[in-house]
Structure 1
């Protein structure tokens, strides 16, 4: 969960390192109440200005899960399960948004700011 700009920047660099060109879910949603955004761990979202200005579902489409956009590094809301709207971004219909921690990071690939090691998914 990119609760700080440094973490957000690290995730963005990692996405680019692994050539991930589709939005990645960042553990943030407003599923319980539209407009009340929370982290998956239940903590409050304290923003530092990283929300995409175009957030909000169009024509009543539920967009309750937030993802990191690899092109501009902003947080944008999408449907939690893709119903076909995200296929242009390479996300399979009826699938969930991918998330960065589902990818295995090997030592030396995660970047110099972490000493070449990912935090949780490091394969020795």
Structure 2
């Protein structure tokens, strides 16, 4: 009877071990199911990411091919710019820009200002006689002295790049603004609107 009792106790312990093993196996199966679900989720996320990358690439390609600048213009921040080395008054320069569907350039921030400076420097590099000259852009105070506005009618705003002691309205008739390519170097200077200088235009990209 003692041996039988001992055998029964051993069987009970084995039965408990089997239950624990079964519970462990069930837990492993659940973990395995969770891993499968996680793997499925990760795969779905990868597919979505690939789709988004393809969509973004397609949009970038469409953006590049769907708009274009007028001949000779260079795009910066989705606006086209060109430096002209012909000699014109401010009004003539305005009309010339309008013929290309644009206006005289309006550098409203430091980045655009720096780009326009590089643009007219590039034009000057190809024309040695432009050693020291000026380029009209779209700023003036023709409506009211000292109240500078862009050619689209908006106020000057917070950014400017005036040269020393500028604007000075020398002789009382300097109502239009140029880039000074030499002295003061790469700065804004007010000039008489009837003077003959070069110019920088801007235009909105159009569809080919």
Using structure 2 for the length normalisation, give the TM-score. Answer: 0.40
Alpha-carbon contact 2:108-2:160 (below 8 Å) kept:
no
The structure carrying a bigger strand percent of its residues is: 2
Q: Could you say which residue in structure 2 is the equivalent of 1:3?
A: 108
Instruction: Establish whether residue 57 from structure 1 lines up as the match of residue 57 from structure 2.
Output: no
Unaligned runs of 5+ in 1: 83-94, 103-118
Q: How does 1:36-75 map to 2 (within 5 A)?
A: 36-54=147-165, 55-58=167-170, 60-71=171-182, 72-75=185-188
Unaligned runs of 5+ in 2: 1-105
Separation in structure 2 between the aligned mates of residue 38 and residue 101 of structure 1, nearest angstrom: 16
Q: How does 1:97-116 map to 2 (within 5 A)?
A: 97-101=197-201
Separation in structure 2 between the aligned mates of residue 11 and residue 37 of structure 1, nearest angstrom: 19
Tell me which structure has the larger Cα radius of gyration. Answer: 2
Instruction: Establish whether residue 31 from structure 1 lines up as the match of residue 136 from structure 2.
Output: no
Separation in structure 1 between the aligned mates of residue 149 and residue 201 of structure 2, nearest angstrom: 19
Using structure 1 for the length normalisation, give the TM-score. Answer: 0.64
Q: Using CA pairs below 8 Å that are at least 6 residues apart, which structure has the higher relative contact order?
A: 2
